[in-house]
A and B are shown apart, each in its own frame.
Chain A
Amino acid sequence: MTKPVQAINRYKADLRDMFFLLFEQFKLGELLGKGPFEAWGEEEVRTSVTEGYRFVREVLGPLNVVGDIEGCKIENGRVITPTGFKDAWEKLFAAGWKTMSISPEFGGAGSPFSVQIMLEELMSGANAAFNMYPGLAYGAAEVVAHFGTPEQKKIYVERMFGGKWGGTMCLTEPHAGSDVGSAKTSARKNVDGSYSIKGTKIYISGGDHDLAENVVHLVLARVDGAPAGTKGLTLFIVPRLRHDENGVLGKVNDVAVTALEHKMGINGSATCVLTFGDNDDCIGYPVGGDAKVNQGMPQMFVMMNAARISVGVQGLSVASAAYLNALEYAKERKQGASMTHWKDPTAPRVPIIEHADVRRMLLDMKGKVEGIRALALKLTHHQDQVTFYKGTDDAKAAYNQGQVDLLVPLMKAYGSDQGFRVCETAIQTYGGAGYTRDYPVEQYCRDAKIFSIYEGTNHIQSMDLVGRKLGQAGGANFQAYMGDVQKFVAANSEHATLGAEVKRLGTAAEALSGSAMRLLMWFQSGNVSMVPLSANRFLEMMSELTVGWLLLEQAVIAETALKSVDPQHPDTAFYQGKVQSAIFFARNTLPGVAFKAELLAMEDKSPADISDAAFATV
């Protein structure tokens, strides 16, 4: 007999930092109450984040460990989600936290995207596995909202955004993972205009579940006779249950969940093997109708930004939860004496936060978490400005869109890579306790690993950055980005207290520019084999530069604020913490950018040179 799992919340978040980012660093207030954000004021934003936080701690947080330990199972051909998930799903959609930034046209509240992303951090941090289900439904609904025919929009969009129906994204097949273009799932046109879908998809998140009355699959498949590769892929709407034109549900649609993966983490999220058309009775329709046959990849690309941002935020969210838990533990756990009388066995035992190396780990986590959160906000604030200026100031909208495109791979890859590392550091901070199930950090660490893999592995992200994004708009986006960094350096390199650190940022910026030139040269001189060997490193360098820049910008704001804040006020400690995060990052990470540029310039090809046999002779 297994005993029932105790559902207790361990999640906590740093709302003060969220409000700092929204209102002090990125000045969201300037966009509120006007144009597309007419209905939103600062108070609505603050109340939403605060209430959303209360919601996730009371409803989603307690189920995090339940989902981890119970996992999902298949009964009678259907997936059963962990105890409490269905109730949480209903409460979540009743509360409206998933429909915040959706246009009122589809039943949403039209909030700035940056506010939605803060709610995403809360939901995902409280329960990353649970949040997969509504997350996938949201992504799929967005595709239909964007590209669907009017009839498709009417049937699907509001139902899926509102949680009545779930949704999935079915790309991966056993032989087609990163190489999406080799997908074999087929689609044959029927006389009535529908298509018969046949094939197997694997690793499909939320591929089936008992949370909503229907599940709508978006399936990449190849229409008979279509070209090979990504050019021949079409995105099909394949509902689990068929329905009439009013959405009244009918018979099942020959989509079967044939197995569940047993995984390292996010155990509450069902990762399914799906077979379509085993009985030749699986019907689908192209998203956007027949005119959109073979347009599957371009459609996916439009939605990819949002999905990749979400995955980066998953990394952030779990890392932040791990950091704040480790911090709490470090203040309580007593071990060893203070450095000053470490040899005296009678000296009082001190909380481990007093040990220098524990402080180093804590500050390292703090800087990364806050830096990645700043990156998420920088990016989504650009997105909000696209929404805000579109149609009234197209040049501004275009600049902001360019920055979104450029920063997305950074958010996805750096957010997920460092998110995992922060979780690992959190375990180290705890010591043995962190390795046990008595504390939440081991689960955070297991949950976080997947973020660097799905939604395009992080190497795919780095190739997107160096192969597509650097040269996008003739390189203008990257130049504008470098211009923004340099402007900050020029304005602040003589700052009374932070000048030296800002100069380090300047050095790192120059190094990154140099590396970008080198990449360009490799492309032009036919030395392309160097590109994939250096792409991950370049992405990391650019992410570190960006995070360093944003943290220093925060520190400058904090230094100014400190001059007027009441020393009794907790904001004093908050702002001091901001300055320390930035200094630590500037001294311990930024100098590495120039060093990595040197490594990149070395043009080391040893991974290419070594023969397969030489890796190991076993």
Chain B
Amino acid sequence: MKILVPLKRVADPDNANKVKVNAGKLVTTGLEWKPNPFDEYAVETALRLTENGTATKTRQGEVVVVTFGPKDSETTLRAMLGTGADRAIRVDTGDDQIDGDVVARALKALVEKEKPDLVLCGKQAVDGDSGQVGQQLAEYLGWPQATFAGSIESEGDKALLVGREVDGGTIKLRVELPAVVSVDLRIVAPKSVKSVHTPATHAYPEGVRFAALMAIMAAKKKPLAEVKLADLTSDAAPKIQYLDYELPPARKAGVKVKDVTELVTRLKTEAKVV
């Protein structure tokens, strides 16, 4: 199976207090970048689908990671090559002159060129929280899609049985490949992904795998191609314009209430929630 995983780097959420706004623009100098966690889960899922979990050194298929960003976003791609992806593509853009729609249209062109069996993406990026690239891409491609996957079972690499997390439980959908699937947090639980190569009894460690030193060293030799955005889409103008940014107001100190009666009263009269 060949899988394409779009990947975005986001400002390290642990250092969120360093984000500054200047004249209506985010100041990105000195931000520490991390791969968007949901995209990391997508890469982990792609790796699990293309290997025997008990012998992860050989890949049974191909995992291609794609990012949109400036030259230094290649670090994020290399890190993914270090965890086991085979190949990387960087679509050359700035960090902020694109929106989800531009990305989806450019990805469509890329998918038509690369012809993967599956596009796996994170359900959303934790910076803008837009959560639309996967859905738009499926629409543009005319492919089936399943969103917020918490489990995936490969059926002979012809179709996937996707467990979608919905209110009150899980819905199981069968999607025929090729398809677009976006993943949620629980996809990286030990037994969430069942590939045709891995014994059913195998349990992965919780979470995404560590990059081993030898794989980091080998990553340098793996192909990393650069593509111009204009070569993928003739219309690269973002439809969404960001007018201004504001930091959330600092949280106010809480109040202590005497007893339950007061609590209920205040919830009624002040917070108006009951």
Contact = CB atoms under 8 A, between A and B. Distances in A.
A602 B145 CA distance: 84
A152 interface: no
B211 A47 contact: yes
Given A51-B79, A568-B27, A571-B30, A39 B217 contact: yes
A161 interface: no
Contacts of B30: 566, 568-571
Interface in A76-107: 91, 94-97, 99-100
B213 A99 contact: yes
Residue of A41, A47, A91, A97 most packed against chain B (CB within 10 A): A47
Given A569-B30, A571-B30, A51 B78 contact: no
Given A566-B30, A568-B27, A43 B78 contact: yes
Residue of B20, B27, B211, B219 most packed against chain A (CB within 10 A): B211
Interface in A92-142: 94-97, 99-100, 109
B214 interface: yes
Interface string B11-53: 0000000101010000101100000000000000000000000
Interface residues of A, number: 26
B259 to A, nearest CB: 28
A569 B27 CA distance: 9
B122 interface: no
A59 B210 CA distance: 10
Given A43-B220, A51-B216, A568-B29, A95 B210 contact: yes
Given A43-B75, A569-B29, A51 B210 contact: yes
A44 interface: yes
B115 to A, nearest CB: 30
Given A47-B79, A568-B20, A569-B30, A55 B220 contact: no
A100 B78 contact: no
Nearest to A574: B30
Interface in A563-578: 566, 568-571
A61 to B, nearest CB: 14
A406 to B, nearest CB: 31
Contact of B75 (A41, A47, A55, A571): A47
Contacts of A570: 18, 30
A54 interface: yes
B75 A96 contact: no
A96 B216 CA distance: 10
Given A43-B78, A568-B27, 19 more contacts: A44-B220, A47-B79, A47-B82, A47-B216, A47-B219, A48-B216, A51-B210, A51-B213, A55-B210, A59-B210, A91-B210, A94-B212, A95-B211, A96-B212, A109-B214, A566-B29, A566-B30, A568-B29, A569-B29
Interface of B: 18, 20, 22, 27, 29-30, 75, 78-79, 82, 207, 210-214, 216-217, 219-220
Please list the 5 inter-chain residue pairs (A to B) with the smallest Cβ-Cβ separation, ordered nearest first: A96-B213, A569-B30, A570-B30, A51-B211, A95-B212
Interface of A: 39-41, 43-44, 46-48, 51, 54-55, 58-59, 91, 94-97, 99-100, 109, 566, 568-571
